[in-house]
Amino acid sequence: MNEKIPLQLLAKRVAEKSGADIATAQSFIKSIFANATQSLLKGDSVTLEGIGTFKISHSPENPIVFKCDGELADQINAPFAIFEPVEISEEVSVDELDTVDLPVADDIEDLSDEEVKAQEIVSDIDESSSDMEVLTDEVSNDAVAESIDLNENNVTENTIVEDAVTLSEPIVDVVEGNIDVPEIPETEITEPEITYIPEQGEEFVEYHIPKSRFGLGYFLGIVTGLVIAALAIAAYTIYTSEALKNTAI
Amino acid sequence: MDSKQLIDIVAEEIGINNTDADGLYSALAMTIRECADELATVAIPGFGNFSTIKRNEEIVVNEQGQKTLLPPVIEMSFTPSILLRKKMIG
């Protein structure tokens, strides 16, 4: 913007567009404007198609009047082509026109924060939706496997398909009413592993016996106490019998 | 004088055929348009400068007092060189 294009650069750009060499383009440009000058000096106007028209004016301040080519003017004003002159009512003052509600810096920061939050929410939603897809895939596979098992038990497929629809409704589109059991490759259906348990003659029931608060220590304590009591009684008996013998003597 | 006459004269002067001269003229007009789009000034030695000026929106008032808001506009202007000005004034 506001760059000055000298003749050499102009000739180079013209040469690139026309395919001619730079020297020829430069002499062409010089010759065009030299002949235009000669024509103007003779008093003729010069019209350069796609550029504009040069006319002679008798004003010493501005001896040549230039009028831009209409097509060129439209092209350079293309950014403002949507605007048109607007009549302003007398009630509107110029001060009101100058007032423009521009967002202040704080508001801009707040808006940017909100935008970031919105982006975070969107990313969270995307992540959760991907999780949902995984879940619905699992659910639909389980539902299909279940439907295959239930078909063997003479259960109508409609109910199973409806169950699958309700489980995978957010993501998977299932046409209700049509009994279309999706074709699943055999490799995807994995049968549950069955471990063989040998049958026994009697059913083994493990009874759970609650533990008593009185354990072995309790009984040992009682026995020890009884032994001590017996020894004490025996010692007392011996002592009293000997005391009676002494008194008798 | 129009551009066609100029092209014929110039083609004869610099020794190129009219087709090449037409191509060169088209390229010249296109380059000046591009420079105008870039709001650049094209300087032609001995002739003058082509420059583009952006005028902001403005309010004009006519004789009846009616105000009209004019949209912004980019104008291409030509400023003759001092040499050309002297020649023209004589």
Instruction: Please report, as a single letter, which amino acid is at residue A131.
Output: D
C-beta separation of A119 from A125 below 8 A: no
More confident residue, A84 or B8: B8
Q: Do B73 and A77 lie within an 8 Å CB cutoff?
A: yes
Q: Measure Cα distances from A180 to A146, A155, A158 in Å.
A: 15, 15, 9
Q: Buried (b) or exposed (e) across A122-156, using 16+ Cβ within 10 A?
A: eeeeeeeeeeeeeebeebbbebbbebeeeeeeeee
B79, two tokens: 């400023």
Q: How many residues does chain B have?
A: 90
The tens digit of pLDDT for each residue in B34-82 reads 998 888 999 999 999 999 888 888 888 888 888 888 888 888 999 999 8
- Closest in B32, B42, B70 to A85, CB measured: B70
CB-CB neighbors (< 8 A) of A52 in chain B = 76, 78
> ∠ CA A191-A140-A122 to the nearest 5 degrees?
135
Mean pLDDT for each 10-residue chunk of chain A (249 residues)?
86 93 93 92 91 87 88 86 82 63 53 56 56 50 48 45 46 52 57 64 58 77 95 94 83
A166, two tokens: 């309700």
| Per-residue DSSP letter, A78 | G
The tens digit of pLDDT for each residue in B9-20 reads 999 999 999 999
CB-CB neighbors (< 8 A) of B23 in chain A = 18-20
Smallest CA–CA separation between B1 and chain A, in Å? 5
Q: Do B47 and A27 lie within an 8 Å CB cutoff?
A: no
| pTM of model > 0.80 | no
Q: Which of A36, A14, A9, A33 is nearest to A25 (CA)?
A: A14
Q: Do B40 and A25 lie within an 8 Å CB cutoff?
A: no
**What's residue A245's pLDDT?**
84
**What's residue A31's pLDDT?**
93
Taken in order A169, A173, A178, A180, is the CA torsion positive or negative? negative
C-beta separation of B73 from B55 below 8 A: yes
Instruction: Please report, as a single letter, which amino acid is at residue A124.
Output: D
C-beta separation of B23 from A18 below 8 A: yes
**What's residue B27's pLDDT?**
94
**What's residue A208's pLDDT?**
62
Q: Buried (b) or exposed (e) across B11-42, using 16+ Cβ within 10 A?
A: bebbebeeebbbbbbbbbbebbbebbeebbbb
- Residue contacts between A and B (CB atoms, under 8 Å): 185
Q: For residues A137 and A139, what is the distance between their CA atoms, to the nearest angstrom? A: 5
Q: Which of A168, A164, A146 is nearest to A155 (CA)?
A: A146
Centre a 10 Å sphere on the Cβ of residue B51 and count the other Cβ atoms it contains.
19
Q: Do B30 and A17 lie within an 8 Å CB cutoff?
A: yes
Interface of A with B in 4-63 (CB under 8 A): 4-7, 10, 13-15, 17-20, 24-25, 27-37, 39-41, 44-52, 54, 56, 60, 63
Q: What ipTM score was computed for the predicted complex, to two decimals?
A: 0.89
A45 SS3 class? coil
**What's residue A152's pLDDT?**
47
What phi, psi does A152 have (nearest 5°)?
Answer: -65, -25
Q: Do B23 and A72 lie within an 8 Å CB cutoff?
A: no
C-beta separation of A5 from B41 below 8 A: yes
